[in-house]
């Protein structure tokens, strides 16, 4: 992991919804190549935070820089960040009227301006990487939830991002489908991808995270390496969360 080139730098970031403060004075650094898992109770601001990192949500104060570009009202900065930071959503967000291969080709064609041949070759390579190339000509509705999520990961990879943001990527899946998605994510982590993942999958956090960030009530309450976080959390709030989660 390189500590010389930060992937994300957040300072004093706030987010409001009609007077409700969802995020409060967030400070967070993510190094290039680092794997960060964000966890915490429902309503703690985890998904809002990750959506602010690629400007799906606009922050209301403080600053966010991704690969050295400040996220502000300049559309060229927002576009540049989104080209470098892929996003995988809880509910897949695939286009139902497009085949798997066309879902994966769309952004390389429209954003990267690849030729159709180059976009198709890249899409097939990314589908193969997540072990689903044999489903390329099907539509999303013909696939299981786990297969759709692997397509969503392949779609993100087709942009050759420097970082992938995962927003609870397994929470909409049946239990038997979770492992196939986590297996793909573990492989990406081992390949060196910078990853920020909002998840309740604590086994995944133990296995691949360089750091666990625990949030509650819109704040970063504590952060530590997985061994320390799971064996000796520093705050009562984290201890309560872990006892409830691990004993559930």
Task: Give the residues of the chain that fall short of pLDDT 70.
Answer: 1-4, 246-248
* Distance (Å) of CA 143 to CA 93, 151, 170: 13, 10, 15
Domain total of the chain:
1
Residue 204 is part of which domain span?
2-246
Q: Residue 2's pLDDT is what?
A: 43
Give the other-Cβ count within 10 Å of 140's Cβ: 20
Mean pLDDT (the chain, rounded)? 93
**What is the per-residue pLDDT across 82-106, written as a single tens digit (0 to 9) for each?**
899 999 998 899 999 999 999 999 9
Q: Residue 73's pLDDT is what?
A: 86
Q: For residue 40, give the CATH number of its domain.
A: 3.40.50.300
Q: Residue 1's pLDDT is what?
A: 42
* Distance (Å) of CA 205 to CA 5, 53, 122, 163, 197: 23, 20, 29, 17, 9
Q: Residue 152's pLDDT is what?
A: 96
d(CA 28, CA 194): 15
User: Measuring CA to CA, which residue among 212, 184, 207, 187 is closest to residue 197?
Assistant: 212
Give the global pTM. Answer: 0.93
- DSSP symbols for the chain: -EEEEEEEEEEEEEEEETTEEEEEEEEEEEEET-EEEEE-STTSSHHHHHHHHTTSS--SEEEEEETTEE-SS-HHHHHHHHHHEEEE-TT----TTS-HHHHHHHHHHHTS---HHHHHHHHHHHHHHTT-GGGTTS-GGGS-HHHHHHHHHHHHHTT--SEEEEESTTTTS-HHHHHHHHHHHHHHHHTT-EEEEE-S-HHHHHHH-SEEEEEETTEEEEEE-HHHHHHS-SSHHHHHHHHHHHT-
Q: Residue 248's pLDDT is what?
A: 57
Q: Residue 176's pLDDT is what?
A: 85
Report yes or no: 207 and 185 within 8 Å, Cβ to Cβ: no
């Amino acid at each position: 992991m390189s500590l010389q080139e930060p992937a994300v730098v957040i300072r004093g970031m706030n987010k409001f919804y009609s007077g409700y403060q969802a995020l409060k004075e967030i400070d967070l650094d993510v190094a290039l190549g680092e794997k960060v898992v964000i966890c915490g109770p429902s309503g703690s601001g985890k998904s809002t935070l990750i959506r602010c990192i690629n400007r799906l949500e606009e922050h209301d104060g403080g600053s966010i820089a991704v690969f050295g570009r400040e996220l502000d009202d300049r559309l060229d900065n927002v576009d540049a960040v989104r080209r470098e930071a892929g996003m995988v959503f809880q509910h897949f967000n695939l286009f139902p009227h497009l085949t798997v291969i066309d879902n994966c080709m769309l952004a390389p064609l429209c954003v990267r301006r690849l030729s159709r041949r180059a976009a198709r070759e890249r899409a097939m390579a990314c589908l193969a990487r997540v072990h689903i190339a044999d489903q390329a000509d099907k539509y999303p509705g013909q696939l299981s939830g786990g297969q759709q999520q692997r397509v969503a990961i392949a779609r993100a990879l087709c942009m050759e991002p420097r970082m992938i943001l995962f927003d609870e990527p397994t929470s909409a899946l049946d239990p038997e489908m979770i492992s196939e998605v986590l297996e793909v994510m573990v492989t990406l982590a081992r390949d060196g991808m910078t990853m920020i993942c909002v998840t309740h999958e604590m086994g995944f956090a133990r296995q691949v995270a360089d750091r666990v960030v625990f949030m509650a009530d819109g704040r970063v309450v504590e952060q530590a390496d997985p061994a320390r976080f799971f064996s000796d959390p520093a705050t009562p709030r984290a201890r309560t969360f872990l006892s409830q989660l691990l004993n559930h």
